[in-house]
Amino acid sequence: MHSSAEENYLKAIYKLQEANGEMVATSALAQVLGIHMASVTDMLKKMSAKKLVAYQKSKGFKLTEKGRLAAIGIIRKHRLWEVFLVDKLGFRWDEVHEIAEQLEHIHSQELIDKLDAYLDFPKADPHGDPIPDAKGNFALNKSVLLAALPPGSQGKFTGVTDHSSAFLNYLDKIGLSLGDPVKVKEVEEYDKNYTLMLKGKKAVVVSFKVANSLLISE
C-alpha cells in the first residue's frame, strides 16, 4: 500500500506528463506540490527504489507502468468521490475538490467498486473529467477548446480546463452547466471576445480566457 504522500506524487507526476509530454522535471513537481526541490529529490529516490518512477539523470523522470496504474487508480477514486459529493450529498461543483483530495486516499478496493456501482458507473466527474474504469481505461473523449472553434460552430459543453472556484462560480453566474448546448455566434477580431448562444437563446459575451477554458464536444 502506498502512503498518501506517495499517492499525491504519483497523481501530480501523471498530470504533468499528460500536460507536458514525456519527462517531468524536479522543479515542476516541486511547484505543483508546493514542496521544496530538495524534498522532491529525496522522495523520488525512494519512489525510484520502489519502481514507481524511472529516473534519467538530468533528463527528468517519468512513471513506470506500475506507477502509471497506481496514479490512474487514485484519479479514479478522486473523481468517483467527487461524483458522490455532488450527486448524492448535494455539494456544488466548486466545493468538492479538497474533500476528494482526502477521500482518494482511502484504501479499499471493495469500497470503490461498490461506490462506482452505487453511482451507476459514471463516465465523467462533476467537472467533465473522464473517470477511468476499474481496469484503468479512459473513455476516449474528443473534445476541443471552445477558443479553437470558428463562428457558427456549435456543440455541447462537456468540460473545463480551469478548475478554480472563481471560474466555476463564473460559469454558474452566466448560467452555463455541464452538458448544455453552446453555439459560437461571433468572435470579435479586435479583442477576441466570444459571443455565445446558450441554452434558451441566451446570448453572453465572454473573454478569450474563458473561451480557452471551455471544452466542447460533438
Nearer to a copy of itself, 11 or 68 (CB): 11
Rounded to whole angstroms, the Cα distance separating 53 from 46 reads 9
- Residue 48 near residue 62, CB atoms below 8 Å: no
- Please name the amino acid found at residue 16: L
Part in contact with a copy of itself (CB under 8 A); list of ranges 46-54, 84-92, 129-137, 169-177:
84-92
The C-alpha torsion from 213 through 103 and 2 to 109, rounded to 10°, is -110
Regarding beta strands 214-217 and 60-63, do their DSSP bridges make them parallel or antiparallel, or are they unpaired?
Answer: unpaired
Binding a copy of itself by CB under 8 A: which of 89, 139, 144, 174?
89
Asked if residue 127 binds Mn ion (CB under 5 A), the reply is: yes
Rounded to the nearest whole angstrom, what is the least distance from the CB of residue 24 to DNA in the complex?
8
181 to 210, contacts with a copy of itself by CB under 8 A? Answer: none
Place of cell 462537456: 158
Asked if residue 25 binds DNA (CB under 7 A), the reply is: yes
Rounded to whole angstroms, the Cα distance separating 65 from 80 reads 22
Nearer to a copy of itself, 108 or 164 (CB): 108
36 to 95, contacts with Mn ion by CB under 5 A? Answer: 82
Q: What angle do CA 81, 86, 90 make, to 5 degrees?
A: 130
115 touches which of DNA, a copy of itself, Mn ion, none (CB within 5 to 8 A by kind)? a copy of itself
Count of residues in contact with a copy of itself, rule CB under 8 A: 18
5 to 34, contacts with Mn ion by CB under 5 A? Answer: 8
41 touches which of DNA, a copy of itself, Mn ion, none (CB within 5 to 8 A by kind)? DNA
What is the gyration radius of the CA atoms in the chain, in angstroms? 19
- CA 66 and chain centroid, separation: 21
What HEC string does 50-82 produce?
A: CCCEEEECCCEEEECHHHHHHHHHHHHHHHHHH
Q: Which residues bind DNA (CB under 7 A)?
A: 3-6, 25-28, 34-39, 41-46, 55, 57-60
Q: Which residues bind a copy of itself (CB under 8 A)?
A: 85, 88-91, 95, 98-99, 102-103, 106-108, 110-111, 114-115, 118
Q: Which residues bind Mn ion (CB under 5 A)?
A: 8, 82, 101, 125, 127, 129
